[in-house]
Structure formats: structure tokens, C-alpha cells
Amino acid sequence: MTTVRREAFGRMPPEEGGGEVEKFVLQSDSVRVEILSFGCIITTLETKGRDGQFSDIVLGFDTLEGYTGKHPFFGTVVGRVANRIAKGKFSVDGKEYQLFINNGPNSLHGGAKGFDKVLWSAEVLPNGVRFFRLSPDGEEGYPGDLKVWVTYTLSGRELAINYQAQTSKTTPISLTNHSYFNLAGQGSRDVYDHEISIEADSYLPVDDTQIPTGEVAAVQGTGFDLRQPVELGKHLQKFHLDGFDHNFCLHQGQDRRLVARVFHPPTGRTMEVHTTQPGIQFYTGNFLDGSLKGKGGATYPKHSAFCLETQNWPDAVNKPNFPNALLHPGEEYNHTTWLVFNTA
């Protein structure tokens, strides 16, 4: 049985048009999650350890001001296009579009004011909440009026996130949730003692601006082979890696499949990621630097969390050999990711 509660969380600043931000609390016997109508942000995600105690396992802030200020997309839904588009440029039907450049020479996570920085309208469901917004034609340089629905539902130990969209003009789209996890509990120093596996035979090498080179490289015999569980800290040392910020290429298909699993031996917490998406970006919080003050006054240093962002491959709109990134009028974009929490 899931209970759903809605309550006020704060007001947008006047220069952002004011407007009330609501918080939705979804609770089952084993998971409790709090989600905002601003940016569809997961602010809190509490799961049980093997001691039966709840801990909050996502990074974030106590107040709305934290989320309206500059931060690395904690808990947000990012779009229209998650990840990077090279030089913020792409062409559709012979017309070139230029997006806002916000990450070195590239466009990242939708631009200057992506889906993470706007108010969504909300509808309470029996076991969750559905958010809606219309992204107008030309927003951040993207073509077409795009209707978007993001639905969070909680059942038992499973949190499902469904993304749907329809467009009036052909547009690239790739939506994901950008939660930062630490199964030891948010505010813990690092994630080196986490064991991770990712069901991917290949990954995308990147250039020095984090744009995929176009090569689809086999993981076999490299530090990117995570098909068997590895202890993260030891693995980074062994392969002299500064961390991960790479897309892992998943088996293609519209069906739900298990793509990643994380286990934290000290607490017994496990998290599985299931998805219908073609890729998953594994990011180890390489750019966290301890400068942000998070929940309960916690600071978040480098490698104090990981992200597993299910999505299309980065820069797919400019790479013909990557999975299709375009949504056409009359079609529906529809993907789901499931996070399953357990103890071992």
C-alpha cells in the first residue's frame, strides 16, 4: 500500500514568476520518496538497511533556495535532451538549430533553463504523482511545442519513473532523472565501498569535452568492463581512473531489462536499475568539490555519490550510427525506468 501526500514546499522568487512549489511524499512499507513540482526533483529517497532503519540515500538540499540556485542537477529531470550535444548544434530536415552553450563548447542537459529549472503542473495518482508541462516551440533553441509527462509511482520496493512526450515539429528528445546516490546515506564521504555492475558489452569513448568520438568500444579487457560486480574504489585504483562519466551501451529493445545493480556491503542496501532506454550514463560525482552545503549541513566532496542516468546516447542527434534521437509529430516518446531497492 502506497500513501501519497502533497504539501507546500516554498515559493518561486518573484523574478521567476512566483508560483507555489509543492512537495509530494510517496511512502510504502520499505521506501519513502519526496518529489517537487519544481524540476520534478527527487529531494529525499529513504530506504531500509539490513538493520531495518531508514536512511536518505540521495544528495540534495533542505530548502527550495538550494534547488533554485546553482547546483549539479541534484535529483532533477533533465531535458529536452539529457547529456551533451556537440557545440549545441544539430540539423533536422535540412535546418540547423543552435542551442545555448553551457558546458565548455557544448550544450548540456537542455541548456540555460532546462526542464530542471521550471515549475510543472501536478496531478496526484493513487500510488504516485504525474507532472506535466508544455515546452514551447523555440525553448532553449529546440523546435516544436513539446508536451511532456513525467510520472513517478511507488509500489513496495520499486520506484517507477515514466516519461512521455508528443511534439508538433520533429525534435531531439532524451529524458532522464539525475539523482545522486550514496547507499551509505547522503553526506557519507565517498562511494568507494559500493559494489557495482552494469550489463553492457560496450561503452562510448569521449573526447576532452566529454563528447563521444563516435566509436562504440568493447568493454572486454578494459576498466569499463563492469559486467561482474567490482568494488568501486579498488577498481578506480587498479585501472588508474579518475572516475566514470561515460555512456554504457545497453541491449536494444523496448522491453524492461535489468541494466545495473549496486550493493553496499556495510548496510546491506541494494539498488537495481531496470529500463527500456538504450543507454545508461554512469557518473561518479567527479565534479563535486565539497563547496555546496547540502541536507543537514552535509558537504559533498568528489566521489561522494554516483548517478545512473538511463537515456539515449549522448550527442545521438549528430551521430547517424547511434540510436535514433528524433521524435516526429504523431509519434509518442515513451520510456520507463524502475529503481528497485532491497537488502542483502
Q: Which residues are annotated as a binding site for beta-D-galactose?
A: 83-84, 178-180, 245
How is the beta sheet containing 202-203 ordered, strand by strand? 217-218, 202-203, 245-249, 279-283, 307-311
Q: How far is 45 from 110, CA to CA, in rounded Å?
A: 25
Catalytic one of 139, 140, 178, 274: 178
Q: How far is 298 from 32, CA to CA, in rounded Å?
A: 20
Distances (CA, A) of 14 to 19, 20, 136, 313, 331: 8, 11, 21, 37, 37
Binding residues: 83-84, 178-180, 245
Annotated catalytic residue 309: yes
Residues facing residue 131 across a β-bridge: 122, 150
Q: What cell was used for 197?
A: 555492475
Distances (CA, A) of 315 to 27, 38, 171: 37, 26, 13
Helix runs in the chain, H state only: 64-68, 232-238
Catalytic one of 109, 264, 309, 335: 309
Residue 26: φ, ψ to 5°: -105, 130
Collapsed DSSP state (helix, strand, coil) of residue 236: helix
Annotated catalytic residue 109: no
Distances (CA, A) of 76 to 16, 137, 182: 18, 22, 16
CB atoms within 10 A of CB 173: 23
| Per-residue DSSP letter, 58 | B
**Is residue 310 a contact partner of residue 338, using CB atoms and an 8 Å limit?**
no
Q: What cell was used for 328?
A: 516526429
Catalytically active residues, by annotation: 178, 309
